[in-house]
Structure 1
Amino acid sequence: MRNILQDLPDNRDAEVFENIVDEEGVRVERIVSHGQSSPVSGWYDQDWHEWVTVLEGEAVVAFANGEDAHLKAGDHLMIPARCQHRVKWTHPARPTVWLAVHYPKA
């Protein structure tokens, strides 16, 4: 047994992605951010759906349509397949811990 909020990596250079489950088309991952954001020039544009929640910290997810979602601990968001998005901001002074579930488009 492990605790998703313990043993957090302290990588300040890049977000850390750790698979918790990866089988039969479903991937669950823990993401730990320390003030990182996606490159301004690029968007995630995935072939699969993604459900994400912030367990600790804060983040802003930007969408290509100009909307932003400000997530705090406990907030969650459904990102449909092919919905262009990026991480605009994560809290610089404390870790932001995400739980992401990736699953196939029906």
Structure 2
Amino acid sequence: MKAGKFFESLPQVPDAEQFTDILNRPGIRIERIVSRGHTSPAKGWYDQDEHEWVMLVQGAAVLGFEQGGDVRLEAGDYINIPAHCRHKVSWTDPDQLTVWLAVFYPA
């Protein structure tokens, strides 16, 4: 067993988005993501081989989808993104940390 503290070592003003694996095993990866005013690169889309379930634990963000439409997330909101659904982070709150919990699982 391994215990941890989800909110430990949060950078207050990260230079770039911070990605930290909480658990990484065959068939599942759980990740903490910390943003503050960060977005995906202008020409970049996430196009992943696995499904992604993501919950916003703190802060606010907007996800954009290539097929159209934006989804605004606030603390407590979650979304399941199917594999190969091209998406990007369009906005994260510049005035506070945005903390994500992402679970990646097989398609």
What are the superposed Cα offsets for residues 8-62 of structure 1, whole Å, 9 maximum, x if unpaired? Answer: 1235321000000000121000000011000111100111000000000000000
- Which position in structure 1 is the counterpart of 2:105? 103
Q: Which runs of 5+ in 2 are unaligned?
A: none
Q: Percent identity?
A: 51
Q: TM-score, normalised by structure 2?
A: 0.93
Q: Which runs of 5+ in 1 are unaligned?
A: none
Aligned-partner Cα distance in 2 for 1:35–1:12 = 9
In structure 1, which of residues 11, 14, 17 is the aligned counterpart of residue 19 of structure 2? 17
Match for 2:98: what amino acid?
Answer: T
Q: What RMSD, in angstroms, separates the aligned Cα atoms of the two structures?
A: 1.1
- Which position in structure 1 is the counterpart of 2:70? 68
1:3 Cα shift? Answer: 2.4
Match for 2:100: what amino acid?
Answer: W
Matched residues, number: 105
Q: TM-score, normalised by structure 1?
A: 0.94
Aligned-partner Cα distance in 2 for 1:3–1:55 = 14
